[in-house]
Structure 1
Amino acid sequence: MSTAPSDSVLGHEDKAAVEALRAVVRIATVAHRDADVHDPEPFDDFVEELAGRFPLLHEACEITQHCGHALLLRWPGRGPAHQDATAGPVVLMAHSDVVPIDPDDDWQHPPFSADLADGFIWGRGTLDCKGSLIALCSAAERLLAEGFSPRRDIWFSFGCNEEIAGTAATSAIELLQARDVRPWFVLDEGGAVVDDGFPGMTGPIAMIGVAEKGLLDLELRAEAAGGHASTPTRGGATATLARAIVRLDEHPFPTNVPAATVAMLEVMATRLRAPLGRALALLTKRPRLLAAALQRAGAEPAAMTRTTTAITQLRGSRGANVIATTATATVNLRIMIGETVEGTIEQVRRIVRDNDVTLTALSSSEPSAVAPVDEAFELLGETLAAVMPDVVPAPYVVMAATDGRFFQQSFPRVYRFNPFRMSVDLRRTLHNVDERIGVADYLEGIRWYAALLGRL
């Protein structure tokens, strides 16, 4: 990670960018699935704050507010709207909503304080993903102040309900299609710059997502006679459910290392100390041995090898002295590319092998297609070389879910990348306590976005 500059040495533009991010982090734009809990006022405040912080961008763009508080901005280019594919418009994405805060969590700095301390901006959304949104706007504002005009149309799509898989993304797609916008490529959140993604790394790699796993929230349910806890019987709903959970934990899905992951590891092999680099390069030619090695390398590498299962919620009786008549568990599965939601449910059914446990899909999305590693991907790499010359790009299968999966159903070139350096400790703060972004890393990300916009 780069060293944080002191506030006294920051220029006017950098100070403005830091304060812009701090201002929007203080706005608690929390996404809730329950409409009765959702508070629209912070989202109103966010839209207003954005307009006040970036007047040149709002003056230059045609702005459509849709799906409540989502924004679609068109920055008109100098050239014709439609030429060859590589001259087409580009869509740059981010989202304003954040996940809720657990009141029992203990943060070093309050989650919506946006404290500036220890070289970091602290708060929910700094990494996911107000940092990207404000960095994009800051980069565009700087270029506009210099009189820059892009050659092609640039669209900014800022969602407002990404964290709950809401409809802002599909609404934006419909608006783009209604305007006959056919993007050369789309860039969303996803990968980052890492230097500790694999044991023995000697240099940073930009993990640029070319695809993402599918998502399935699956409910396991067991039912049985309840009663008073003073007169229990063997078995019951909770015991039946517990057996199913243990079977899922003891029987992981089969391994599957897709071509995009192999390509990423080939790049990573060039960044590993000898003899690890040579060993990894050899393993990329042997899929079974490669999968086994990744499973031993840590949680992140292991998740690259298969569909993953995580028990995230458990529910039983409402009373400490009441035997449950119904017990449920929510399983969050991230489905490997090349597999399907239907096939995943059937695999869970085979693992559980208990007719007394019913399976219900609560929500799902199929794994995405894989974006090509062609001129668009190379442009992202060229921008890295200009701004972060110590970083090399690598294709990557994103394990989390983004709005990019909806865009990739309509547009083939969707890439996922936040141009920020993130250590493993920082990556662990995503959807967790003490989320924060390094000031120097944030400012470097602004320069990356400005360099990308300048090439468009």
Structure 2
Amino acid sequence: MQTPLARFQRLLRIPTVSHADESLVARGAFDEFHAELARLYPRTHRALAREQIAGHTVLYRWPGASAEGPLVLMAHQDVVPVVPEEWAHDPFGAEIVGTGADAAVHARGAIDDKGALVAIMEAVEGLVGEGFVPARDVYLAFGHDEETAGDGAAAVVELLRARGIRPGLVLDEGGAVVEGVLPGVDRRTAMIGVAERGHMTAWLVAHEAGGHASTPPALPATARLARALTRLQRRPFPRRISAPVRAMLATVAPHARQPLRTVFRNATLVGPLLSAVFARMGPETNALVRTTAVATELHGAPGENVLATTARAAVDIRLLTGDTVAGATERLRAVIADEGIRIEVRRAAEPSPVSPWRGEQWRRLAGAIATALDEDIVPTPYLQLGASDSRWFTAISDHVYRFTPFHLTRSERDALHAHDERIRVDVWLRGIDFYRALITRS
């Protein structure tokens, strides 16, 4: 009989890679993944209704004693591409490296996000086998293109909306159990995303007549573009403490050492100073206190000795709670200050609404953390730095949270979307216990 770990390894070995260019997606890998889910979790597939939506997104419904205010557990099947030679182990080999508490599964998707998906399936399979009936309906929503467009999750939301279903609690990937992230706080914290930043992509475009590179103009398109990017880098978006971050600081304040305990408790009064400190501490804390903008793609001439008729740069912008797409676009124009640079907003999503960090649903999450992980862990509201499929569900639920129930070190978090992604075996197994506890708490 297969163990939970063996089932996890099997699903990690299926390369469900998503690409922005959908012609590159191997659809057969997703078909194989679905077939393996059905084979590995037969009780779940007998007890839960299953629908396939928008291609390869799947939605399961587990009938409970009541259909009102259901629980939605989210995860995504797709993973980002890999560069195999950068990895110490086969990225789709799901090898176990190390022993004892250090034993870890190395694979693309181990954390992002098959770790959560398989842990959810393990929890449901076990509870179904025990004859458990949830107090309210439980939905499992597993998107297939979270890493690109998120169309699968959007289609699920439209389907649920059309059926008049308004979830009482939605949980997707997000913050983890961490330590040493916040200065002066030694306790482990469960970072529960109550909101996520908005996301927009702006293309900066410069044009010129072109010609031979041996006779360049005084300010070629590439130089004009480089100047615009330099101005943007030198004048970042302003810092401030948003409501979710202020709530996070107030929550951890009792567990912080002095003088930071007092500082965190008075974050409103000392906001400018505190945001300046956070901005200098590192990329994660800097992203908590400002809208960020970074050039990610550059395009110029088609040859080494040819002047670029068009020079373009893609700028990835993540909007802090309270900022807007329109405001960010205007700031780009003001900072770049060059009419020769055209700004094209290709895609944009405003920051999400903020879910409450008090009340019944928050207590349900906190209770599951205490029961399954550790009572010593401090659940705290958190501003999710990246985008997730959960953003679509804010249209049909007021309680949308982003939390992955795994204790992750800094190096493990740094491996997300990079090489050597991995998760410790005992950490992953405790995640199953978390989902069991959440499902069984009414």
**CA displacement 1:368-414 (0-9 Å, x = unmatched):** 00011221011100111112212110011101000111111222110
List per-residue Cα deviations over 1:135-164 (Å, max 9, x = no partner).
000011111222211111000011001111
Contact preservation (8 Å) 2:267, 2:274: yes
Aligned residue identity for 2:361:
A
Q: Whole-Å Cα distance in 2 between the matches of residues 47 and 80 of structure 1?
A: 28
For 1:144 and 1:47, the matched residues in 2 are separated by 19
Q: Residue 36 of structure 2 corresponds to which residue in structure 1?
A: 49
Query: Once the two structures are superposed, what CA deviation does each residue of 1:249-274 show, in whole Å capped at 9, x if it has no partner?
Result: 00011123111111101223333334
1:187 alignment counterpart: 171
AA aligned to 2:90 is: P
Q: Secondary structure of the residue that 1:230 maps to in structure 2?
A: coil
Say whether the 8 Å CA contact 1:265–1:284 is kept in structure 2: no
Residue 167 in structure 1 maps to residue 167 in structure 2? no
Contact persistence 1:225–1:236 (CA under 8 A):
no
Shift of 1:231: 2.5
Superposed CA deviations along residues 172-195 of structure 1, whole A, max 9, x for unmatched, are: 012212322111111111111110
238-247 or 255-264, larger mean C-alpha shift: 255-264
Q: For residues 267 and 441 of structure 1, what CA distance do their matches in structure 2 show?
A: 25
Q: State whether structure 2 residue 288 is matched by structure 1 residue 301.
A: no
Paired residue secondary structure (1:444)? helix
- 1:315 and 2:302 aligned: no
| Shift of residue 289, structure 1, vs aligned partner | 1.6
Which of 428, 435, 440 aligns to 1:442? It is 428
**Contact 2:204 2:343 survives alignment (8 Å):** yes
Task: State the SS of the aligned residue for 1:270.
Answer: helix
Contact 1:199 1:297 in 2 (8 A): no
Residue type at the aligned position of 2:186: T
The answer to whether structure 1 residue 454 and structure 2 residue 413 are counterparts is no
- Check conservation: 1:316, 1:328, Cα contact below 8 A: yes
Q: Deviations over 1:347-366 (max 9, x none)?
A: 11111110100011121111
CA distance in 1, matches of 2:29, 2:77: 10
Partner AA of 2:257 in structure 1: R
| d(CA) in 2 for partners of 1:252, 1:263 | 24
Q: Distance in 1 between matches of 2:287 and 2:138?
A: 34
Residue 63, structure 1, aligned to residue 50, structure 2: yes
What code does the residue aligned with 2:348 have? S
Equivalent pair of 1:190/1:416 in contact (CA under 8 Å): yes
Question: Any conservation in 2 of the 1:95–1:159 contact (CA below 8 Å)?
Answer: yes
Letter in 1 for 2:95: D
Q: Deviations over 1:67-89 (max 9, x none)?
A: 11111100000x2323xxxxx21
Q: Displacement, 1:284?
A: 4.8
1:172 match: secondary structure: helix
DSSP-derived class of the 2:327 partner: helix
Report the CA distance shift for 1:285/1:16 in structure 2 as closer, same or farther (over 3 A). Answer: farther
Question: Aligned match of 1:416 in 402, 415, 432?
Answer: 402
For the pair 1:432 / 2:418, whether they are aligned, the reply is yes
> Residue 176 of structure 2 contacts residue 407 of structure 2 at CA under 8 Å; is this kept in 1?
yes
Task: Kindly indicate whether the alpha-carbon contact (under 8 Å) linking 2:263 and 2:270 is maintained by their aligned counterparts in 1.
Answer: no
Choose which of 208, 212, 236 in structure 1 pairs with 2:192: 208
AA aligned opposite 1:111: P
Which residue of structure 2 aligns with residue 357 of structure 1? 341
Pairs aligned (count): 436
TM superposition score normalised by structure 1? 0.93
Distance in structure 1 (CA, Å) of the matches to 2:3 and 2:386: 31
Aligned position for 2:210 = 226
- Deviations along 1:412-448, whole A, 9 cap, x unmatched? 1100000001111111111111111111110011111
The reply on whether 1:198 has 2:182 as its aligned counterpart is yes
Unaligned stretches of 5+ residues in structure 2? none
The one-letter amino acid paired with 1:413 is H
Give 3-state SS (helix, strand or coil) of 1:33's partner: coil
Work out whether residues 165 and 403 of structure 1, in 8 Å CA contact, stay in contact via their aligned partners in 2: no
Is the aligned partner of 1:25 residue 2:25? Answer: no
Q: Pick from 135, 148, 155: which aligns with 2:119?
A: 135
SS at match of 1:100: coil
Q: Distance in 2 between matches of 1:184 and 1:411?
A: 7
Aligned pair partner of 1:96 in 77, 83, 90? 77
Query: Residues of 2 paired with 1:64 and 1:306: CA distance?
Result: 40
Normalising by structure 2, we get a TM-score of 0.95
Identical pairs, percent: 43
Segments of 4+ in structure 1 off by > 6 A?
none
- Contact 2:167–2:396 (CA<8 Å) still a contact in 1? no
Shifted more, 245-254 versus 338-347: the winner is: 338-347
Q: Secondary structure at the match of 1:339?
A: coil
Letter in structure 2 aligned against 1:75: W
The more displaced of 177-186 and 283-292 is 283-292
Structure 1: which 5+ residue stretches go unaligned?
1-11, 83-87
CA contact (8 A) 1:196 1:423 kept: no
**What CA distance in whole angstroms lies between the structure 1 residues aligned with 2:351 and 2:259?**
35
81, 87, 104: which one pairs with 1:107? 87
Which amino acid is 1:42 matched to?
A: A
Q: Which residue of 1 aligns with 2:320?
A: 336
Q: What SS does structure 1 have at the residue aligned with 2:274?
A: helix
